[in-house]
Amino acid sequence: MKAILFVFLGGGLGSVLRYLISKGLNTDTTVIPYGTFAVNVIGSLLIGLIIGLSAKGNILSQNQTLLLATGFCGGFTTFSAFAYENQQLLKSGDFLSFALYTIGSFILGFLAVFLGMYLVK
């Protein structure tokens, strides 16, 4: 029950922060949803740092890892919004933005996880 509470609290905080960032960066004038892009890359970096710290000599407890990685990062990043926004780009026929957004998200997301883990070594 304690673990569920940590995930719940972290997820709520991450979701609120994602909403605020997306609201600020995803505007009607931008084609690529920069807010979702930013939270996914930042979240990837954060989870790399958190998992790296957790694995490095038990710097983070299991509860802290649940709160931060599973909860916060899980609530902060969003694959469902990413998938929907890509569907919208395809539907509008904007294949260039679709390709840039999709490829950029994957590449930068993976690199951010590796960077996060590297930084705590």
Per residue in 17-38, pLDDT (tens digit) is 999 999 999 887 778 889 999 9
CB atoms within 10 A of CB 28: 4
- pTM score of the predicted model: 0.81
Domain count, the chain: 1
Surface-to-core class of residue 4, CB atoms within 10 Å of its CB (0-12 exposed, 13-18 middle, 19+ buried): exposed
CB atoms within 10 A of CB 74: 18
Q: What percent of the chain has pLDDT above 70? A: 100
Q: Which domain holds residue 15?
A: 2-119
